[in-house]
Amino acid sequence: MLLAGDVGGTKTKLGLFDRAKARPRQVVVRTFVTVEYPDLPSMISGFLADSPRSGTIEAACFGVAGPIVGDRAELTNIRWAVDARRVADAFEIPHAGLLNDLQAMAYAVPVLDPIELEVLQEGEADAGGNVAVLAAGTGLGEALLHFVEGRLVPSPSEGGHADFAPRNEREIDLLRDLVRRFGRAEVEAVLSGRGLVNVFRVTHTRPCPIVLDENGADAPAAISAAALEKRCQGCVDALNMFVEVYGAEAGNHALRSLATGGVFIGGGIAPKILPALGNGRFMRAFRDKAPFEALMARIPVNVILNEAVGLLGAAVRAATL
> What is the 3-class SS of the chain, one letter each residue?
CEEEEEECCCEEEEEEEECCCCCCEEEEEEEEEHHHCCCHHHHHHHHHHCCCCCCCCCEEEEEECCCEECCEEECCCCCCEEEHHHHHHHHCCCEEEEEEHHHHHHHHHHHCCHHHEEEEECCCCCCCCCEEEEEECCCEEEEEEEEECCEEEEEEECHHHCECCCCCHHHHHHHHHHHHHHCCCEHHHCCCHHHHHHHHHHHCCCCCCCCCCCCCCCHHHHHHHHHHCCCCHHHHHHHHHHHHHHHHHHHHHHHHHCCCCEEEEECCCHHHHHHHHCCCHHHHHHHCCCCCHHHHHHCCEEEECCCCHHHHHHHHHHCCC
Whether residue 207 is found in the same domain as residue 129: yes
Domain span holding position 153? 113-305
> Does 55 or 154 have the greater pLDDT score?
154
Whether residue 95 is found in the same domain as residue 242: no
Using alpha carbons, list the distances in angstroms from residue 144 to 133, 236, 253, 294: 6, 32, 9, 22
Whether residue 139 is found in the same domain as residue 170: yes
pLDDT of residue 55: 81
CATH code at position 63? 3.30.420.40
Whether residue 247 is found in the same domain as residue 141: yes
Whether residue 164 is found in the same domain as residue 288: yes
Q: What is the mean pLDDT of residues 128-133?
A: 97
Question: Helix crossing, 169-182 with 233-257: angle to 10°?
Answer: 90
Number of separate domains in the chain: 2
pLDDT tens per residue, range 254-302: 999 999 999 999 999 999 999 999 999 999 999 999 999 999 999 999 9
Whether residue 160 is found in the same domain as residue 13: no
Whether residue 6 is found in the same domain as residue 93: yes
Q: Distance between CA 168 and CA 119 in Å, rounded? A: 27
* Phi–psi pair at 211, nearest 5 degrees: -95, 100
CATH code at position 160? 3.40.367.20
Whether residue 227 is found in the same domain as residue 275: yes
Q: Distance between CA 232 and CA 204 in Å, rounded? A: 10
Whether residue 18 is found in the same domain as residue 73: yes
> Quick check: 50 pLDDT over 90?
no
pLDDT of residue 236: 97
Using alpha carbons, list the distances in angstroms from residue 244 to 47, 146, 182, 186, 278: 40, 26, 22, 16, 11
Regarding pTM above 0.75, the answer is yes
Whether residue 161 is found in the same domain as residue 277: yes
Whether residue 35 is found in the same domain as residue 155: no
304: left (phi over 0), alpha (psi -120 to 50) or beta: beta
pLDDT of residue 297: 98
Exposure string of 37-47, with b = 16+ CB inside 10 Å and e = fewer, is beebbebbeeb
pLDDT tens per residue, range 149-175: 999 999 988 899 999 999 999 999 999
pLDDT of residue 138: 86
pLDDT of residue 76: 73
Using alpha carbons, list the distances in angstroms from residue 149 to 38, 102, 284: 42, 22, 33
Q: Distance between CA 287 and CA 292 in Å, rounded? A: 8
pLDDT of residue 46: 93
pLDDT tens per residue, range 220-251: 999 999 999 999 999 999 999 999 999 999 99
Q: Distance between CA 49 and CA 81 in Å, rounded? A: 22
Whether residue 152 is found in the same domain as residue 240: yes
> With 0-12 CB in 10 A as exposed, 13-18 as middle and 19+ as buried, what is 164?
buried
Question: Going by DSSP bridges, is the β-strand pair 72-74/68-69 parallel, antiparallel, or unpaired?
Answer: antiparallel
* Phi–psi pair at 36, nearest 5 degrees: -80, -5
pLDDT of residue 86: 93
